[in-house]
């Protein structure tokens, strides 16, 4: 089966005064229909840029983006418009991603009107009622403005807008990070219900590892623009191999007070992806780093669908 | 808890905000106790009143719109509410320090970090001259793991984690007896969070500081605190030792919070959210503030003032059905 999304060696560089910021640097992955790919990493690792480049909010510097097998990496005009109907985004902050001067109804109906798929106002209203029902917004909020709603409801509006045109692929950019625990669970359940009903394909970008484990089938770990490990979700948590993945997983505060984590505290901090040296970008913080780590690295298969980018993987 | 060893005790604190003629009931009769050298975790969701409590202890709430209606905040035997503003100036940053949530905005962007820390030190020890204060500031930087030669740099040259270290260095520079840490790691990544939490704990143990740690993250509480208090809509709904709260949660809200968290070591198909939303603090429900969202709510939950019940020694719960419910 053709994966809904496949990217090959995708790169997105930004020019900055100090040189080139290699925000996304040679990332390849594919996501099958109805599945969720979780992308985790620390702030500044390029995970949001990756997602936004895939749905063509940024023009990729190089590499390919295949949507249902069709190359849309540099699509323009009608082809891009068609591709975008099929690729949508849910943003992190429901406080700033909704237009404060538009009512809920205006926000959700806008994509319906732009698409020209609906012939009359009545059809649009019907579709909108259906959307409200699907995401669980009471219809009395139809004419409300974003400031009249709490975070959970706003995020439901964001979701309604994203799924309005029945996209196949939805890029979820930290959709629950701004929400409280009790509301976060409501929104996560909604996303999973929608996926089941409409066979949606998600890319789920987050820094919250317990959330990503819960929702993803497959997880990719990013460090400074590159994938360091990608694996089925269960396998990654059971058998993390890259030193960075291990440190990341051990840093999660556990609510189990009787089994404290054996914590690996990383020294130093995420540096930047501006003019990086060749070789492993994690090496400066890695306790196992040797000279061989300064050679260029690549992902190697270590198990079924489990890839790691570390040249010392067999020694440590 | 040993009552003789209590260092901070908040008694029946009530704080209200006025906005557009509406009254916002932010803190409604909160009592807390923290022992010398221990850490109390105050957990709750956005708008529950956590930060308001910390700011009340330091008396830095803007009045208006905020008004401390009643209550005591006793720190080391002295009630902060009875102090004059002049006396408070001497206490803030000296006896009591606060770490704010967002290190990006807590620092002055046009002063070097060294100068900022030295300013705090000099303010509290007037005998020092500029040079001595700066030298002490450099010691404080080294203490939090930043090389002293970076003291001449500006905040924008530091990453988020390092800025938070600077804020912590500033808060601990004058060896406070009480540290109010308001979501000190919320703005940071998990690997940096782990660094900062272990550093705070180490410094706290070395100086025998008492700490009130405010957070919404139960994982952070599990790793750093001795005692825990859960706050909902401006009321403490449950309090006790960490073991009481994590092993035997009693209040339906606390139980709901744990159930709503995705677990790392469990496979679940769907999470169990708490239904509904936190109430509007200007229109709080009568009786138990949690009853509209509680699956066990009964008639009596809606009309009575619910008292704290001691469910086991030192473990308190504000639920009138706690003894009827199976846990």
Spell out the residues 6+ positions from residue A312 whose beta carbon is closer than 8 angstroms to its own: A288, A290, A292, A293
Cβ contact B264–A270 (<8 Å): no
Q: What is the DSSP string of B32-51?
A: EEEETT-EEEEE--TTSSHH
- Encoding tokens for residue B78? 């002295």
CA distance B49 to chain A (A): 14
Query: How far is Cα B245 from Cα B228, in angstroms, rounded to an integer?
Result: 7
Chain B residue numbers with beta carbons less than 8 Å from the beta carbon of A181 are 45, 216, 218, 257, 260-261
* Residue with more model confidence, B273 or A272: B273
Residue A316 counted as domain residue: no
Closest residue in chain B to residue A179, using alpha carbons only: B46
Residue A313 counted as domain residue: no
DSSP state of B270: S
Torsion, CA B159, CA B165, CA B166, CA B170, rounded to 10 = 160
Phi, psi values for residue B252, rounded to 5° = -55, -30
Q: Is the confidence at residue B327, as pLDDT, over 70?
A: no
**How many CB pairs below 8 Å do chains A and B form together?**
114
Its domain, for residue A200, covers 5-308
Percent of the residues in chain B that have a pLDDT greater than 70, as a whole number: 99
Cβ contact A255–B219 (<8 Å): yes
Q: What is the DSSP string of B280-311?
A: PTTSPPSSSTTGGG-TT--HHHHHSPPPPEEE
State the pLDDT at residue B54. 93
For chain A, the residue count is 316
- Encoding tokens for residue A278? 């060749």
Contact residues, A window 121-160, toward B, CB-based 8 Å cutoff: 150-152
Chain B residue numbers with beta carbons less than 8 Å from the beta carbon of A248 are 190-191
- Encoding tokens for residue B309? 């019940």
Q: What is the DSSP string of A153-203?
A: HHHHHHHHHHHTT--SEEEEESTTTTS-HHHHHHHHHHHHHHHHHHT-EEE
pLDDT bin (cut points 50, 70, 90) of residue B128 is confident
Q: What's chain B's average pLDDT?
A: 88
Predicted structure pTM score: 0.85
Chain A residue numbers with beta carbons less than 8 Å from the beta carbon of B270 are 189, 192
Summarize pLDDT for B82-121 with one digit per residue, the tens: 999 999 988 888 889 999 887 778 899 999 999 999 988 8
State the pLDDT at residue B1. 64
Cβ contact A42–B264 (<8 Å): no
CATH of the domain at A154: 3.40.50.300
For chain B, the residue count is 327
* Mean pLDDT, residues B167-182: 88
Best of A188, A189, A214, A237 to mutate (most B CBs within 10 Å, chain B): A214
Chain A residue numbers with beta carbons less than 8 Å from the beta carbon of B200 are none
Residue A314 counted as domain residue: no
Residue A131 counted as domain residue: yes
Residue A201 counted as domain residue: yes
Please state the three-class secondary structure of B176-226 as a single string. CCEEEEECCCCCCCHHHHHHHHHHHHHHHHHHCCEEEEEECCHHHHHHHCC
For the four alpha carbons of B50, B56, B57 and B62, in that order, the dihedral sign comes to: positive
pLDDT tens for chain A, 316 residues long, are 899 999 999 999 998 888 888 999 999 999 999 999 999 988 888 899 999 999 999 999 999 999 999 999 999 999 999 999 999 999 988 878 899 999 999 999 999 998 888 888 999 999 999 999 999 888 888 899 998 888 888 999 999 999 999 999 999 998 988 788 888 899 999 999 999 999 999 999 988 888 999 999 999 999 999 999 999 999 999 999 999 999 988 888 888 877 666 777 777 766 777 888 888 999 888 888 888 888 888 899 998 899 999 988 887 7
B36-47: string of b/e by CB count within 10 Å (b at 16+)?
bbbbbbbbbbeb
Task: Report the number of distinct structural domains present in chain A.
Answer: 1
Residue A315 counted as domain residue: no
Q: Is A180 on the interface with B (CB under 8 A)?
A: yes
State the pLDDT at residue B34. 94
Q: Scanning the structure block, which residue is given the tokens 């708490």?
A: B274
Q: Is the confidence at residue B74, as pLDDT, over 90?
A: yes
For the four alpha carbons of A160, A164, A168 and A172, in that order, the dihedral sign comes to: negative
pLDDT bin (cut points 50, 70, 90) of residue B4 is confident
Q: Scanning the structure block, which residue is given the tokens 């749905």?
A: A55
Summarize pLDDT for B55-65 with one digit per residue, the tens: 999 999 988 88
Q: For residue B242, give the nearest of A188, A253, A257 by CB distance.
A: A257
CB-based contact A163:A148 (threshold 8 Å): no
DSSP H helical segments within chain A, as ranges? Answer: 47-54, 77-86, 104-115, 121-135, 151-163, 181-198, 209-215, 233-238, 243-250
Distance spanning both ends of chain A, measured CA to CA: 37
Q: Is A185 on the interface with B (CB under 8 A)?
A: yes
Residue A262 counted as domain residue: yes
State the pLDDT at residue B243. 93
Residue A73 counted as domain residue: yes
Strand B66-75 with B6-19, pairing: antiparallel
Query: How far is Cα A125 from Cα B250, in angstroms, rounded to an integer?
Result: 46
Chain B residue numbers with beta carbons less than 8 Å from the beta carbon of A183 are 273, 277
From chain B, which residues contact A within 8 Å (Cβ)?
45-46, 159-162, 189-195, 197-198, 216-220, 222-223, 242-243, 246-247, 256-258, 260-265, 268, 270-274, 277-278
The angle formed by the CA atoms of residues B137, B204 and B162, to the nearest 5 degrees, is 50
Chain A residue numbers with beta carbons less than 8 Å from the beta carbon of B261 are 181, 185, 210, 255
């Amino acid at each position: 089966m053709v994966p809904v999304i496949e990217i090959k060696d995708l790169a997105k560089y930004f020019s900055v005064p100090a040189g080139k910021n290699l925000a996304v640097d040679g990332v390849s992955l594919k996501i099958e229909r109805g599945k969720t790919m979780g992308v985790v990493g620390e702030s500044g690792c390029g995970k949001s840029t990756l997602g936004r480049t895939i749905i063509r909010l940024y023009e990729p510097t190089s590499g390919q983006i295949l949507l249902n097998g069709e190359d849309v990496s540099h699509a323009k005009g009608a082809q891009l418009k068609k591709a975008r109907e099929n690729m949508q985004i849910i943003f992190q902050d429901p406080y700033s991603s909704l237009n404060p001067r538009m009512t809920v109804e205006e926000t959700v109906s806008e994509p319906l009107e732009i698409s020209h798929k609906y012939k009359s106002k009545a059809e649009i209203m019907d579709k909108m009622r259906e959307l409200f029902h699907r995401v669980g917004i009471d219809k009395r909020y139809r004419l409300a403005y974003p400031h009249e709603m709490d975070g959970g409801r706003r995020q439901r509006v964001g979701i309604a807008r994203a799924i309005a045109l029945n996209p196949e692929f939805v890029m979820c950019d930290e959709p629950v990070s701004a929400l409280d625990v009790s509301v976060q669970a409501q929104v996560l359940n909604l996303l999973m219900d929608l996926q089941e009903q409409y066979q949606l394909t998600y890319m789920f970008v987050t820094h919250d590892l317990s959330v990503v484990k819960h929702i993803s089938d497959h997880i990719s770990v990013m460090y400074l623009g590159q994938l360091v490990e990608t694996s089925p979700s269960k396998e990654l948590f059971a058998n993390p191999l890259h030193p960075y993945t291990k440190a990341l997983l051990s840093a999660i505060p556990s609510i189990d007070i009787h089994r404290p984590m054996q914590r690996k505290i990383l020294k130093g901090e995420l540096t930047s992806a501006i003019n990086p040296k060749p070789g492993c970008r994690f090496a400066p913080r890695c306790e196992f780093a040797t000279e061989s780590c300064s050679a260029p690295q690549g992902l190697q298969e270590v198990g079924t669908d489990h890839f790691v980018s570390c040249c010392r993987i067999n020694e440590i | 808890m040993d009552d003789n060893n209590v260092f901070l005790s908040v008694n029946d604190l009530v704080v209200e905000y006025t906005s557009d003629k509406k009254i916002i009931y932010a803190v409604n009769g909160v009592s807390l106790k923290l022992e010398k050298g221990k850490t109390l975790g105050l957990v709750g969701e956005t708008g529950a009143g956590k930060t308001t409590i910390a700011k009340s202890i330091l008396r830095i709430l803007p009045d208006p719109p905020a008004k401390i209606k009643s209550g005591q905040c006793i720190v080391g035997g002295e009630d902060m509410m009875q102090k004059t503003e002049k006396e408070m100036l001497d206490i803030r940053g000296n006896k009591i320090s606060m770490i704010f949530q967002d290190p990006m905005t807590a620092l002055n962007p046009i002063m070097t970090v060294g100068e900022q820390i030295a300013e705090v030190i000099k303010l509290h020890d007037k005998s020092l001259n500029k040079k001595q204060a700066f030298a002490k500031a450099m010691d404080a930087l080294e203490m939090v793991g930043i090389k002293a030669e970076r003291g001449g740099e500006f905040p924008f040259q530091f990453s988020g984690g390092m800025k938070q270290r600077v804020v912590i260095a500033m808060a601990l520079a004058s060896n406070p007896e009480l540290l109010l840490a308001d979501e000190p790691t919320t703005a940071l990544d998990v690997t940096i969070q782990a660094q900062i939490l272990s550093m705070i704990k180490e410094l706290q143990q070395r100086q025998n500081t008492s700490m009130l740690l405010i957070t919404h993250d139960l994982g952070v509480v599990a790793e750093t605190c001795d005692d825990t208090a859960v706050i909902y809509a401006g009321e403490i709904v449950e309090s006790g030792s960490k073991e009481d709260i994590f092993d035997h949660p009693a209040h339906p809200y606390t139980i709901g919070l744990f159930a709503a968290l995705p677990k790392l070591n469990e496979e679940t198909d769907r999470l169990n959210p708490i239904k509904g939303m936190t109430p509007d603090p200007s229109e709080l429900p009568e009786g138990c503030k949690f009853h509209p969202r509680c699956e066990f709510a009964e008639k009596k939950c809606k009309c009575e003032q619910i008292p704290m019940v001691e469910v086991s020694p030192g473990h308190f719960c504000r639920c009138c059905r706690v003894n009827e419910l199976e846990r």
